[in-house]
Structure 1
Amino acid sequence: MNHVADRVSSEELPNFQQTPSDEAIMEGMLRVRFDYAQRQTKDYSHLFRQKSRLELIRLAFYQICVEFTYAAETALASPIILSNGLSHTFMTMIWAFSPTLGFVFAPMIATLSDQTRSRWGRRRPVLLALGTAVVCGLMIMPHGKTLGLWLGDEDVPVEQMSGFRWGILLTTVGLMLTDFDIETSSGIARTYFMDMCVLSDHAKVLSTAMIIGGIGGSGGYLLGAIDWQQTDLGSLMGSNEATVFAVVVLVMIIGLSLTLTSFREGMFEAEKARQLAIYSISPKVPVDVVKKNYGSVPVEMDDTVQEGEMTFANFFRNLRHMPRSLMILYLTQFLAQFGYLSYCMYFTDFVGSAVFGGDVAAPVGSPELALYEEGVRFGCWGMALFTISAALYSTVIGKLIKYFGGRTIFIGGLLINSVGMLAMALFTERWMVFVCCPGVGIAYATMYAVPFLAISQYHAKNSFAMKDGQYVESSQRRGFGADVSMLSSMLFLSQLIIALSIGSVIDAFESNSGARVEIFSTMMVGKVQ
């Protein structure tokens, strides 16, 4: 009897082993592809394995450049533009140029990246070009007024400036290059980060990018908080702005080089589709066909295969037929960016004028101008606190999402920021700067983690909707880079609307305090909805 039982057990055991778990299937497929990729002349096996924390830091190091640039731009660009004699209305119209270009062209650039078949990869050539343009913009923007004097502008006080000025044109060109290219490159960079990682590392690489980006942003704002004109370096460079932007250029070159040399791109669209097929395995998705082929999945790569290539025609077709889930995600991100950008574009100017009582148009050497400049530096300390809080919150947001869910964390983070900023608008006290800025950091970490993870999951499962608890497979051919870039383009759209409206409100109130109440109240209502 025991002999028969043993024989039955030994016969049944192989049948049981022939039906492995979904996790075993995924691990097995990745292992097969890893072994195959490792044997190639150009090893690309890193695409099929998890990365160490140090590898993720090097991969995402460009995010430090992004945040450093954001810090310098948001803290100092508005004072630079106003110093050329422009009103708030015209200043905000200048801010509208780059988001107009970005909203139209950033998704197209991302689609071009999806189609690129360079030996250097799909993302890195585009990222290099955009990074180079950012460096050019950073070098022009703080020196626009000086270059204008060389080209014939009159050297007169701000209140006497009138007519065409080369300084305004050059400063605008520098701002457009910096603002458009840094945000466009940020979307491309995030796509590159996730392209180089297996799905289980996506949340980790995005949180790593936020953490080190917070460090970079803090460094950028702290640079702006220092009075460099009292130092030898500041005297050599000529101004606080020129000194800060020179440091940002150096950081940009180093960070871009580290990221571009971190991992080789070696995956073509056909193989990408096969890899995503691995990740689409889920308890809610039938896997019978996959299990039948377990252990015999083909891994040969054909570089010439271009089936279902993501073309510009497909891109525009997808815009017209966007899944409802993506439409809601983009709308929510737009509202979040609308509130965040109102903070970035006007905060240091708000602190300098409304909190400290200074005046950017006051004569050089006057107490009013000194108060304004002191307020700008004080605002930089608050913005440094915002980036530090973003970095700290990024270390726990992944666990919070698992425990409370992405929707709860997303709405909660934005509401905290809304309440804090409304209080800042109503109570213009110095201590409120340090009370409210951490809430911005929480919102920033939230809106640059949850939506990107959602798109990653959509594409990994090739599903943008659910029916009866089951994922519905999408028949659309959507580019991952294009969808990520479209999410980033919500920043351009919100910046465009702010730029075309809020400056007029500030000039109408003859103070940006009224605009503060209006913009943050609107932001709060939008986020609650």
Structure 2
Amino acid sequence: MAEKLYEYQGVAGRIHSIRDNLREKYASWKENNPNGVSGWVKEKCFSVKQSAGSGNGIDDYSHIYRKKTKKELVRVSAAVMGIEFSYAAETAFVSPTLLKIGVEHKHMTLVWALSPLIGFFLTPILGSLSDRCHLSFGRRRPFIFIMSIGVFLGLILVPNGESLGYSMGDPRPPSLSYHRVSSHRTTAQQNQLSTNDDNSTFTINETIVNNSENIDSFIPYNNSHPWGVLFTILGTVLLDFDADACQSPARAYLLDVTVPEDHARGLSTFTVMAGLGGFFGYALGGINWDVTFIGEMLGGHVRAVFTLITIIFVVCVGFTITSFKEMPLALIEIGGSEFQNYQNCDDEENEIMETNDQQSYGALENTLDRDNTNQAAYCPIGDENNKLNQDQPRKSIIPDPNASLFLYLKSIIYMPRSIRILCLTNLFCWMAHVCYSLYFTDFVGEAVFNGNPTAVEGSVSRELYETGVRFGCWGMSMYSLSCACYSTQIEKFISMFGAKKVYVGGLLIYSTGMLLMALTKHKVGVILFSWTAGVMYSTLFTMPYLIIAHYHAKGTFETTLEGEEKISTQIRGLGTDVAIVSSMVFLAQFILSMCMGTIVNTTGTTTAVVSVASTLAFFGAIAATQVMYLDL
């Protein structure tokens, strides 16, 4: 019947019908949205969501004020696992990739200075913006999502930069074939190399005495890839900056949706997930995908690794940002009546919640104690007597509703000594770790396996280098596994020995391991001493943020000369302080990128990489002795 009607109406009649339907839908939408498109956008993005059928008109955020299960903490931390997968691909293959397409050592290290130059200044600002983000989606998750897009683009560009360069006109490398013609003499061998490039050929003949030389230096190949270098560097900057910067909102998100009692457990879970992500990420790089059908299908080893990691990254980030709703900032700033309505739920509901979990927490108290750094108290549901106690304050880490973005930005410059010392310690830690993570596979390929990244493809030196890079991936995989294992015990170590001994001890272990690796330069040492890097990574991934969260939870950032805690009157945001401490990774990377190439060229060996890492970790241990730990 419809077909006959369409046939009768013809094309013009159908167009008119579609137009009328669209007009009806637009009229209906306009009736439901009297404020127009701008009002609809504001409502969707900036207003507090209303729960259907809820008597108080507010979504249920009780999950924020209860203790989390291990499974829930794993889901909240899944994003960092995806980030570490991508970081594993970056650290393992970016340096070798840049060296292969003609970037010299001294210039390759400068490439790593680009993203930290941006990140050092931008990351704290992004942290402050997240503290004052009014989106109904939350304060942290929008930033996680946006930065994840940058990581995704970086994962696409890095392995395909060289190919994109060829499409833009970069000269393609010659296709090489070796023809070995044995002489009747046992002391000599004639080697002939035929190279086909744009229908041109040339032949090189040489006599190799006792087979002790190779033909690498005789190949007249212009290893220049200007477009390929550009695309690869662009991908590196996107991947490096966003992977590092994304960790700050991810950490703040974890601290926001958990109660202070869960912070140590949550951060250790966060680090375990990071370690597992690095372990499996580097393991993927250690497999020779060139000899598998996946490698053939995806276009080689590097592309196979990056493709698999891209898929895993998207899944992990999606798993986290769909885990727990964040309380929008607009709801926190609404005021007393809404919170009172939310807290005064009916007795039956309270009784059920108390039965299920005696440790679950209800709504925020609206009364802010101005003497306690403007932090709002939270109290167990049904316990009217458990209000904010001056002697034993129990606070959740939420922003002061009266704090402006300017105040948060101002707190980046004017910070207490405790945070400055923590930043200095984290700077040394990250400098020590960046030495290992960014240049380690190159160290293994050159110093341990005696390979050459600039040798022609297919030559002995190039094969040795690539074998060393893959072997280095297994060493870094071991460090990530060590990080995951140590992170499961770090909370126990803190309770047994105290935060100070755990912090300082972890850095000294790493310093000793890197020193022994520099002295041995052996395959066994690559695997064995990489485990000490995991201890240090777990330490710097957990301790600074546990200490920052502790400062905010207690509202204390300094002590008197007698060692007594002083309640701070300065308004500080958790997201801002987490970002400030995290931004040290960018400063560390920038400093090393400016000088590491010169250090390697001056010493003439990539062994300098792990030697410098050992020295910087020792300085970090000294700085860690000056950190304010309060009662941790």
Q: Which residue number in structure 2 is paired with residue 55 of structure 1?
A: 72
Any runs of at least 4 consecutive aligned residues in structure 1 with deviations exceeding 6 A, and if so which? Answer: 275-278
Judging by fraction of residues, say which structure has more strand: 2
**Structure 1 residue 69, shift from structure 2 partner:** 1.1
Q: Kindly state the Cα deviation for residue 513 of structure 1 after the two structures are TM-superposed.
A: 2.1
Matched with 1:145 is 162
Is residue 173 of structure 2 the alignment partner of residue 156 of structure 1?
yes
Whether 2:105 is the aligned partner of 1:88: answer yes
Greater displacement, 40-49 / 505-514:
505-514
Q: Tell me the amino acid that sits aligned with residue 75 of structure 1.
A: A
- Deviates further, 139-148 or 502-511: 502-511
Once the two structures are superposed, the pairs formed by residues 384-403 of structure 1 within 5 Å of their partners are 384-403=477-496
8 Å contact from structure 2 (residues 128, 409) kept in 1: no
Letter in 2 for 1:111: S
Query: Mapping of 1:7-406 within 5 angstroms?
Result: 41-156=58-173, 160-161=221-222, 165-268=226-329, 269-270=332-333, 294=385, 307-311=401-405, 313-406=406-499
Q: 1:302 matched to which residue of 2?
A: none
Is 2:170–2:224's contact at 8 Å kept on the other side of the alignment? no
* Cα separation, partners in 2 of 1:526 and 1:395, compared to 1, 3 Å: closer
The equivalent of 2:606 in structure 1 is 512
Query: Could you state the TM-score of these two structures normalised by the residue count of structure 2?
Result: 0.72
Q: What CA distance in whole angstroms lies between the structure 1 residues aligned with 2:550 and 2:368?
A: 12
The amino acid that maps onto 1:225 is G
Aligned residue type for 1:232: F
Cα distance change, pair 375–329 in 1 and its aligned pair in 2 (3 A): same
Q: 2: distance between equivalents of 1:68 and 1:131? A: 13
What amino acid is aligned across from residue 143 of structure 2 in structure 1?
V
8 Å Cα contact 2:505-2:621 kept in structure 1? no
Partner of 1:456: 549
Q: Kindly name which structure, 1 or 2, has the bigger radius of gyration based on alpha carbons.
A: 2
> What code does the residue aligned with 1:473 have?
I
Distance 1:373 1:163 in 2: 20
SS at match of 2:314: helix
Q: CA deviation at 1:110?
A: 1.2
Contact 2:448 2:468 in 1 (8 A): yes
Distance in structure 1 (CA, Å) of the matches to 2:437 and 2:386: 53
**Matching residue of 2:596:** 502
Structure (1/2) with the larger helix percentage: 1
> Is residue 532 of structure 2 the alignment partner of residue 439 of structure 1?
yes
SS in structure 2 at match of 1:396 = helix
Q: Distance in 2 between matches of 1:403 and 1:526?
A: 22
- Following TM superposition, by how much is the alpha carbon of 1:515 offset from its aligned partner in structure 2, in angstroms? 4.5
- Give the structure 2 partner of residue 5 of structure 1: none
Secondary structure in structure 2 of the residue aligned to 1:449: helix
For 1:432, give the aligned amino acid: G
User: How far has the Cα of 1:522 moved from its partner?
Assistant: 4.4
Q: Which residue pairs with 1:424 in the alignment?
A: 517
Give, in whole Å, the separation in 1 of the partners of 2:609 and 2:246: 31
1:431-462 per-position Cα deviation (integer Å, ceiling 9, x unaligned): 11122111000111111111101000111111
Q: Secondary structure at the match of 2:559?
A: strand
Unmatched 5+ stretches in structure 1: 1-36, 282-292, 298-304
Question: In structure 2, what is the Cα distance between the partners aligned to 1:389 and 1:458?
Answer: 29
Q: 1:273, CA displacement in angstroms?
A: 8.4
Give, in whole Å, the separation in 1 of the partners of 2:407 and 2:154.
32
Look up the SS of the partner of 1:395 in the other structure: helix
What residue in structure 2 maps to residue 288 of structure 1? Answer: none
Query: Which amino acid in the other structure matches residue 438 of structure 1?
Result: W
- Tell me the amino acid that sits aligned with residue 313 of structure 2: M
- Count of residue pairs brought into register by the alignment: 476
Partner SS state of residue 582, structure 2: helix
**3-state DSSP class of the match of 1:465?**
strand
Residue deviations 1:27-82 (CA, integer Å, cap 9, x gap): xxxxxxxxxx9965411110111111111111111111011111111111111111
SS for the counterpart of 1:43 is coil
Please show how residues 404-415 of structure 1 align to structure 2 within 5 Å. Answer: 404-415=497-508
**Whole-Å separation in 1 of the counterparts to 2:479 and 2:610:** 18
Q: 1:39 to 1:182 in 2, by over 3 A?
A: same
CA distance in structure 1 between the aligned counterparts of 2:114 and 2:366, rounded to whole angstroms: 39
The offset of 1:216, in angstroms, is 1.4
Distance in 2 between the 1:277 and 1:82 partners? 57
Partners of 1:103 and 1:159 in 2: CA distance:
42
Q: CA deviation at 1:402?
A: 1.2
Aligned residue type for 1:203: A
Separation in 2 of the partners of 1:471 and 1:295? 23
Cα drift, residue 309 of structure 1: 2.1
CA contact (8 A) 2:98 2:108 kept: yes
> How far, CA to CA, are the matches of 1:252 and 1:73 in structure 2?
13
C-alpha contact 1:509 1:515 (8 A) present in aligned 2? no
Residue in 1 that maps onto 2:15: none
Q: Report the CA distance between 1:308 and its aligned residue.
A: 2.5
Aligned residues: percent identity? 37
- Per the normalisation by structure 1, the TM-score is 0.85
- 8 Å Cα contact 1:85-1:159 kept in structure 2: no
Aligned counterparts of 2:620 and 2:266: Cα–Cα separation in 1: 30
User: In the alignment, is the contact (CA less than 8 A) between 2:102 and 2:224 conserved in 1?
Assistant: no
Deviations 1:280-307 (A, max 9, x none): 99xxxxxxxxxxx84689xxxxxxx974
What displacement does 1:481 show?
0.3
The Cα of 1:526 is off from its aligned counterpart by 4.8
Decide whether the 8 Å contact of 1:310 with 1:478 is kept in 2: no
Shift in CA distance, 408/307, structure 1 to aligned 2, threshold 3 Å:
same
Shift of 1:326: 0.5
Deviation at 1:357, TM superposition (A): 0.6
Match of 2:565 in 1: 471
List gaps (5 residues or longer) in structure 2. 1-53, 175-218, 336-362, 373-383, 389-398, 624-632
Query: What residue identity is the alignment partner of 1:474?
Result: S
Distance 2:428 2:505 in 1: 14
